[in-house]
């Protein structure tokens, strides 16, 4: 990946990873091509982007008339980021959502109780992370809505069932099914540069039901048969074991920082509602979260935080730090 890609390029790339239709993909790819700095170091990427664009265009033309039916399922993003809980039948996905959030999906000892995605908000200190419970993935079933959710998520929590002798086979079926599609799991989210549409979503592995008497034995088998290098969190979704570590890891995996805003006329910042942006994000990104007019008309800001002197004047390109307090000053254009 060549260095010095613009913010617009990186944003378009992220949107491309999340795209759920070829039309969206095409739009993002075109922005990426436009934003790509043109020099020797980017020749290869430039060629790849052009190739991808022509392939997506061809796919679009070929698919005309039999346009893919969209499920119409939409789930607004909320909170500091989105984690999707996936796994085989009965792994404990719904129980995990119940234990980490206030959502109340049905938990039952038979498969396919959960038929559509169910969101919940997981508190972490003073912010929330959106978690989504999903229907199971099996050798035969991997519904397009779950697939789209995984592609668009900041992270995946992959459950395996240590409470049953069938758990490992069911888990292997999940992995095999994912690997037969262009929606895959990895230690870090990324796009495959050589294969259009192949996307990897950052994953945490959570072997569940460690309260089961045979769990340790099954875990050993799991490690022997499915060696994976995802960070691993042993949990009992039902009894709560390991859930605090998992909760912290979910938040940490989002890699965001919190910023509190303060009105120039107020003494105290608004601590009740932090804004979150990706680590490395700027003041301008924060302003955009508030309102696009804010971003457009931003003159400067004053910052109170760990990395600056109290009340330091900064511009839109200031990289915000966790727990910064910012006072935005806007002026008419």
Ligand X SMILES: Nc1nc2c(ncn2[C@@H]2O[C@H](COP(=O)(O)OP(=O)(O)O)[C@@H](O)[C@H]2O)c(=O)[nH]1
Q: Contact residues for ligand X (CB under 6 A)?
A: 87, 89-95, 107-109, 113-114, 136, 163, 208-209, 211-212, 236-239
Smallest gap from Cβ 89 to Mg ion, in A, equals 8
Is 94 a binder of Mg ion (CB under 5 A)? Answer: yes
- The span from the CA of 161 to the CA of 210, in Å, is 9
Pick from Mg ion, ligand X, none: which does 95 bind, CB < 5 to 8 A by kind? Answer: ligand X
Pick from ligand X, Mg ion, none: which does 89 bind, CB < 5 to 8 A by kind? Answer: ligand X
Smallest gap from Cβ 222 to ligand X, in A, equals 15
Contact indicator for 276, 137 with CB cutoff of 8 Å: no
Extract the tokens encoding 52: 């991808």
Smallest gap from Cβ 136 to ligand X, in A, equals 6
**3-state SS assignment for residue 53:** helix
Is 99 a binder of Mg ion (CB under 5 A)? Answer: no
Is 101 a binder of Mg ion (CB under 5 A)? Answer: no
Q: Which residues of 225-240 are buried (b: 16+ CB within 10 A; e: fewer)?
A: eeebebebbbbbbbee
Q: Give the single-character DSSP code of 312.
A: E
Which of 42, 99, 101, 114 lies at the binding interface for Mg ion (CB under 5 A)?
A: 114
Contact indicator for 184, 200 with CB cutoff of 8 Å: yes
Task: Select the span of 106-114, 123-131, 156-164, 273-281 touching Mg ion (CB under 5 A).
Answer: 106-114
Among candidate residues 80, 141, 146, the one with its CA nearest the CA of residue 112: 141
Q: Which is nearer to ligand X, 111 or 316 (CB)?
A: 111
Q: Which is nearer to Mg ion, 94 or 130 (CB)?
A: 94
Among candidate residues 109, 120, 50, 112, the one with its CA nearest the CA of residue 84: 120
Among candidate residues 191, 200, 217, 235, the one with its CA nearest the CA of residue 95: 235
Q: Which is nearer to ligand X, 208 or 261 (CB)?
A: 208
Smallest gap from Cβ 201 to Mg ion, in A, equals 20
Pick from ligand X, Mg ion, none: which does 237 bind, CB < 5 to 8 A by kind? Answer: ligand X
Q: Give the single-character DSSP code of 42.
A: G
Q: Which is nearer to ligand X, 100 or 253 (CB)?
A: 100
Contact indicator for 123, 103 with CB cutoff of 8 Å: no
Residue numbers at the binding site for Mg ion (CB under 5 A): 93-94, 113-114
């Amino acid at each position: 990946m060549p260095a010095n890609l613009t913010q617009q390029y990186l944003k378009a790339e992220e949107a491309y990873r999340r795209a759920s239709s070829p039309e969206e993909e095409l739009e993002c790819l075109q922005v990426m091509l436009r934003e790509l700095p043109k020099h020797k170091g980017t020749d290869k990427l430039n060629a790849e982007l052009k190739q991808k664009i022509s392939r997506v265009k061809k796919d679009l033309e070929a698919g005309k008339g039999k346009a893919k039916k969209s499920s119409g399922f939409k789930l607004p993003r909320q909170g500091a980021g989105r984690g999707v809980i996936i796994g085989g039948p009965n792994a404990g996905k719904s129980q995990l959502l119940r234990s980490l959030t206030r959502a109340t999906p049905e938990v039952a000892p038979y498969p396919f109780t959960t038929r559509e995605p169910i969101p919940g908000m997981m508190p972490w200190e003073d912010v929330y992370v959106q978690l989504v419970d999903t229907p199971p993935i099996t050798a035969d079933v991997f519904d397009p809505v779950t697939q789209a959710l995984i592609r668009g998520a900041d992270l995946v929590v992959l459950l395996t069932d240590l409470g049953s002798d069938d758990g490992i086979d069911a888990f292997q079926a999940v992995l095999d099914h994912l690997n037969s599609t262009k929606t895959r799991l990895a230690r870090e989210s990324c796009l495959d540069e050589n294969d259009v549409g192949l996307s990897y979503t950052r994953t945490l592995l959570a072997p569940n039901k460690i309260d089961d008497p045979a769990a340790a034995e099954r875990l050993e088998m799991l490690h022997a048969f499915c060696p994976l290098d995802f960070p691993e969190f042993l949990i009992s979704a039902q009894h709560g074991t390991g859930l605090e570590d998992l909760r912290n890891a979910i938040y940490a995996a989002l890699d965001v920082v919190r910023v509190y805003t303060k009105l120039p006329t107020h003494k105290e910042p608004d601590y009740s509602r932090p804004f979150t942006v990706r680590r490395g994000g700027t003041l301008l990104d924060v302003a955009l979260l508030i309102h696009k007019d804010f971003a457009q008309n931003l003159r400067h800001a004053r910052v109170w935080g760990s990395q600056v002197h109290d009340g330091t004047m900064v511009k839109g390109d200031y990289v915000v730090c966790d727990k910064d307090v910012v006072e935005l000053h806007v002026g008419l254009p």
